[in-house]
Amino acid sequence: MNKTTLLSLAAALAASSVLCESSRAAVHSQPDASNALEQRIQKIDHQAWSDLDHEPPQTPPLVARAWGNGRGRAWGNGRGRGFANGGGGGFGNAYRGGFANW
């Protein structure tokens, strides 16, 4: 790789951080309250969530969470959906995990 000074590395990391933030904003959205599925979710009793050991729906956090899990690779960071028909590949970093058919 090209030689990198610490200063240029710091600048690159800062630029990467800006890119990640803008990417998150481009990738994520809030639930659309007019959507029929979202209305069903809002009606679910909080007890049903706690039975699952899951938090009930919340308002989105101020800082976007890492672009993981979401959809994409399930289970974030490397454990993903898997690519089609058996290809595993990926569950990392938001990939829905899965190369198909593997």
Partner 1 sequence: MNSADYGPIGLVVIQATSLCNLDCSYCYLPDRQKRHQFDLNQMPLLLQRIYESPFWGPHLSIPWHAGEPLTLPCSYYDEATKCLEKATAELQQQGVVIDQHIQTNATLINDQWAACIKRNQIEVGVSIDGPECIHDSHRRFRNGNGSHRLTMRGIRTLQDHGIPFHAIAVLTHEALDQPDEMYEFLRDEGIHHVGFNVEEQEGVHAHSSMQGLRREKQYREFLRRFWRRNQRDGFPIKLREFDQVLEMISVGQRLRQNEMNRPYSILSVDAAGKFSTFDPELLSVETERYGLFNLGNLRDLSLEDATQTEAFRQLQQDMNAGMAQCRSQCDYYGFCGGGTGSNKYWEHGTLNASETCACRFSTKIPVDVLLEQLEEQSATAS
Query: What whole-number distance in Å separates Cα of residue 20 and Cα of residue 23?
Result: 5
Question: Binding to partner 1 by residue 35, rule CB under 8 A?
Answer: yes
- Among positions 7, 62, 63, 88, the unique one binding partner 1 when judged by CB under 8 A: 88
Distance (Å, rounded) from C-alpha 4 to C-alpha 34?
50
The one-letter amino acid at 94: A
Three-state DSSP state, 50: helix
Q: Does 10 bind partner 1 (CB under 8 A)?
A: yes
- Please state the closest distance from residue 99 (CB atom) to partner 1, in A: 6
33 binds partner 1 (CB under 8 A): no
- Name which of residues 43 to 72 contact partner 1 (CB under 8 A): 43-45, 47-49, 51-61, 64-67, 69-72
CB atoms within 10 A of CB 90: 23
